[in-house]
Chains A and B, each alone.
Chain A
Amino acid sequence: MTMTNDATGTAKKKLGLKERYALMTRGLDWETTYQPMEDVFPYATYEGIKVHDWDKWEDPFRLTMDAYWKYQAEKEQKLYAIMDAFAQNNGHLGLTDARYINALKLFLTGVTPLEYMAHRGFAHVGRQLPGVGARVACQMQSLDELRHAQTQIHSMSNYNKLYDGFHSWRHMHDRVWYLSVPKSFFDDAITAGPFEYMIAIGFSFEYVLTNLLFVPFISGAAYNGDMGAMAFGFSAQSDESRHMTLGLEAIKFMLEQDPDNLPIVQHWIDKWFWRGYRVLTLVAMMLDYMLPKKVMSWKEAWEVYAEQNGGALFADLARYGIRPPLGWQQACDDKDHLSHQAWATFYQYQAAAPFHTWVPSEEDMAWQADKYPDTFDKYYRPRFEQWAQMEAEGNRFNNGTLPLLCQVCQIPMLFTEPGDPTRICYRESEYKGETYHTCSDGCKNIFDHEQEKYIQAWLPVHQIYQGNCFGPDADPTSPDFNPLLEVIKWYGYNVGVDNRPYEGSEDQTNFRAWKQQTTSNAPAAG
């Protein structure tokens, strides 16, 4: 046992991990006397969650702040060494194909800003939960999420020097139609109370769905030669297991504290499973259509990470009276359709997307048919073949009319009826004399439960029609005013460069030319 001397010269025992943890968490808390505790923690009770004893909160990691800093700093050092090496050695030329880079554009615009919001959300919850163990755990996760955002931005900034569409991701996140999907998801979570946030992000997202987000992107990076993205993925992974444990502890704690908490928690699980699942539409499409070298199909990923792992989790939670989320079965049934419907949407709205799209090649369609034997040839191949033919005739299919969006998930109403992939699924609600449209029973249930929240939704299509999505220099009175072009400019796209088909794009021609330079003596073409 080591001994240290303090200032007075008396010998003191070095504290064990457990004692240190207790001192640096429970020991830091106190009951306020100048202000009533209800005023110090104003959001602690209004959601209806009853907590009798915060000391029952168990943090299985027992990580103290000083250990946390040391551990994260070591990881950071390794990560930046890999990222630097990737940049200095022109690592991007080792990619399978420049099509892959579009998956990164999707990630940077859609996911990285959520990391930052998770940082803010956990900081807020870490302030508002009355239990000190939970507060410390949330504070660490808040720092993790900030680090995730930063490392992703740094890693992908290397691509911004060479490829299109990476320049204004933060600006886009608050404006662009498809980015309102992940944005509204997180805005919904951070405007909820602290307990709902813990179920929304801590449990439903970090525990139930996280593997369906990170594993596809990170293995996609590994399969396609992107060491930079792979490195930030692995560096985040050890945090993720801590986050998963926090989410699980949060739900178990709520359920063990009071039986009245069960129906509230169950509703949140129903809601946030469906909200998260809808956001994963973007991942499904990335996995099946955007990776030149494919890792696994969305269907396979769903079967492993949702049906098997999630199934085991909900079997475990059954002892608390929790059942699998509403919508679970529909999500399982839709695994044969989701990615195809999503990619078809981005293909036709290419002009409004800041990344490139393409018709899948013959070889890729054979892969789809193999992975989706019951649905691809029957429902989706005819669409893609039609579009390939239209492209060949110089008449690419560009959908120039704005779609109806779901009031809750904000995705265009592209999803089909459960059991009938030939019919769009329409759901309608009336509230205070206005009509609201939703894409599914899941989204309708969410709307009907909290109408007053979702009537405030900033739906991109309606905002465009209200005239709120033009830059200051746009002149709607001018005779050649082109509203959709003005919207795209307001989005911050480099018009005609970022939002064009992959075939003939700068990304395609530059990548080809640079790659050629590495294997021949021919002068650069681009």
Chain B
Amino acid sequence: MNSEELLAKLSECVEFGKVNKNAPFPPAMKGMDGADELTAQALEMGVDPVDILNNALIGAMDKVGEKFSQKKIFVPQMLISAKAMNAAMEHLKPYFQSGQVKRKGKFIIGTVAGDLHDIGKNLVAMIVEGAGWEVIDLGVDVNAAKFMQAIDTNPEAVVGLSALLTTTMASMKNIVAEIKGKYPEVKLIVGGAPVTEAFKTEIGADGYSDDPQGAVSYLNALVA
């Protein structure tokens, strides 16, 4: 295989969720090399890690996010793809540390104070990470102070807030106001089942999306 074919194969592994050779999923790729082996091979072959990330991995996760948005695939396939992506990323770690490969930016995300629903937030975090962003996940029940602490250490980051309870939409509103009061320039994107575009505007946040792919489009537009 030449490097182009290798990257195409790697991209396919991430898109369809083939983590490594031993992984039983997807059945059609049983016994074949997965994202893990193929990334190692590409690096050995001398392929630029930047190309691996941009041409194989991010492109594949873009397709995954799109297919999810169009309801062609479901949460499980998305998670298996994210796992394959992570297997590949393990090999790229040293290049991130050395600065040879850069991420698009930083994304801080958390479920707002008073709420512990995190399934949606976790999906957003995974897809945003797969799209080439460094994700700082603050977990659940996160208050304004905790968000601002993270912003203090990562002033260039974009911040995502998730709320699933109608009662914690009020908490989201307060946190947005507090963050904007102290860091007017920080971009805030909000989401979660009860949150709407109108609510985003009402509370003075900058972005809203009802799915992870929308979050990625918003973030990518900021650095385009």
A binds B: no
B contact residues vs A (CB 8 Å cutoff): none
